[in-house]
Structure 1
Amino acid sequence: MEPMVIISILGGLILVLLFAGAPVKPLRLVGQGVIKIMIGALFLFFLNAFGNSFGLYVPINLVTASVSGLLGIPGLCALVAIQTWVV
C-alpha cells in the first residue's frame, strides 16, 4: 500500500475515535484485573519467602496468582490449605 492510503486510514480511525469515544470502561476493568494478579503474585512471593521456614510453598503461576489476587488473603489461605492437605 502507498503511504498516503495508510495515513488516510489512520487519520479516519482517529476521527472516528474522537467522535465516537474510546471504550474506557473495558480497558479500566482489564487494567484492574492485571494489577490484582500482580498483587496476588506479590502475596505468593512473600508467602514463599516467609513460609519457607515452616515448610510452606505455593508455586507462583497465573492460576495461583489470580486466585490470591482476586480473593485476597482468604484465597491465599485456601491455596495454603489445598497445598498442605490435598496435594
Structure 2
Amino acid sequence: MSSTLFIGIIIGLIILLFIVGAPVKPMKYIGKATIRLGIGALLLFFLNVFGGAIGLHIPINLFTVLVSGFLGVFGVGSLAAIHLFIL
C-alpha cells in the first residue's frame, strides 16, 4: 500500500469520526500523538541536514520517528549515539 493512500485513509477516518461524533478524549490523544510524530520527523530531518557535515545520517522511518517523537531530543540523541558508536 502506498504511503499517500495510507495517509488518505487515515485522514478520511478522522474526518468520519468528527462527523459521527467521536468521544473527545481519544481524539485529543490521537491529535497529541500526531503532533509528536510530526515533531519527531522534523527533528530527524534537521539532524540529517546538520549532521551530514560529520557523516551522521539517521534514516527517517516509522521506528526512528516513533523514538524521536515520543522521547524528543533525548530520543534523537540516543539514535545519533547508536549510529555513531554501534553502527
TM score, norm. by length of structure 1: 0.72
Q: 1:26 corresponds to which letter in structure 2?
A: P
Displacement of 1:40 after TM fit?
0.3
RMSD: 1.3
Give the unaligned 5+ runs of structure 1.
1-16
- Identical columns (%): 51
Once the two structures are superposed, residues 59-87 of structure 1 have per-residue CA deviations (whole angstroms, 9 ceiling, x without a partner) of 00111011111111111100001111122
Number of aligned residue pairs: 68
Runs of 4+ displaced beyond 2 Å: none
2:34 maps to: 34
Q: Larger Cα Rg: Structure 1 or Structure 2? A: 1
TM score, norm. by length of structure 2: 0.72
Give the unaligned 5+ runs of structure 2.
1-19
